[in-house]
Amino acid sequence: MNGKYVMIFSIFTIIVLFLVSGCVANMSSEELQNRLISANNNIDTYSGQMNMDIKMTGADSAGGAINYHLESTFSIDSPNKKMAIIGSMKMEAGGVKQDIDMETYIVDDYVYTKSMNTWIKMQMDAKMWEEQDQVEQITKLIESGSLKQLNDENLNGKSYYVMEIIPDPEELGKMVLDQQQDSRIKQMVDFENAIKSYKAKIWVNKETFVMEKSEVKTVLEIDLNDLDPEGKKTGKLVLDYSTTMTFDKINEPVNINLPEEAKNAQDLSEISANIANQNANNLDASGMDNMEMPDINMEDVPDFDMGDNPFK
């Protein structure tokens, strides 16, 4: 190639690179937000890791703290509504420590959870699935709010935009409210006002605009009197938690198979029915068969941890 043409080609390449980099560098927060939303709304499958620390105070009469530390790996297949979470939880309260291994699967519209070596299953509804898709939840907060661009970072050889999410308070409160499984708590607590602080940072791949890491820190403060219909409890229940999640294998095939032992899981609705029957039989045996028994529904059964959601 003629030297003159080499020079022209080199100058042209430099100009193109300058213009492209200039477009990215000068991209407004709104443009970044739109590209981020578009890229993350097109994610079908992903895997990742999660670390969560929770400190709860005011839950017992002694006023001591209960600390939880959770570590887990997860895989999500959104089109087929399949999920797998495998992890462990360490709990410490009043000097007593306990380690619990946990597994949760969503397969064929059922949630299977193993805790304390026991498998339980319950039927899943559409809203329950939405609550488990972490990328979708964060994307909804981004859509309703705004982003504050922080200093870029390089992690593991990749370049990232680092942004702080400024969520819409009403949407954030609605998200926390929707995550509650107990309708009584939904009616008793104003979650929008219960959120005392919320800070979320995300790391967005500069090449794909896909979110590959998130950090969320939240403090909730609930008046115990709101949780007691008789109004006898006083003080505050404070839930302080921080969560770090990383996402990888984005839009790559994921292999989610229900373990053989989980196929014999006890159905939560059957457990509820057995409890009701047992209570009725006990009353009959004690000569109190004329006493009216209260209805037992899913809300009266202790909640089973889905693995990712500290608000349940």
**Do 6 and 13 meet the contact criterion of CB atoms below 8 Å apart?**
no
Domain ranges of the chain: 32-280
| Cα distance between residue 104 and residue 33, in whole Å | 33
Query: Which CATH class, in words, describes the domain spanning 32-280?
Result: mainly beta
Print pLDDT tens along the chain (312 aa): 544 433 433 444 333 333 333 334 556 777 888 888 888 888 999 999 999 999 988 866 555 788 999 999 999 999 999 999 999 999 998 888 999 898 999 999 999 999 778 899 998 877 777 666 778 778 888 888 888 889 999 998 999 999 998 888 878 877 776 665 555 565 667 767 788 888 999 999 999 999 999 999 989 888 777 666 666 667 788 889 899 999 999 999 999 999 999 999 988 877 777 676 666 666 555 554 444 444 444 444 334 333 344 333
Predicted TM-score (pTM) above 0.85: no
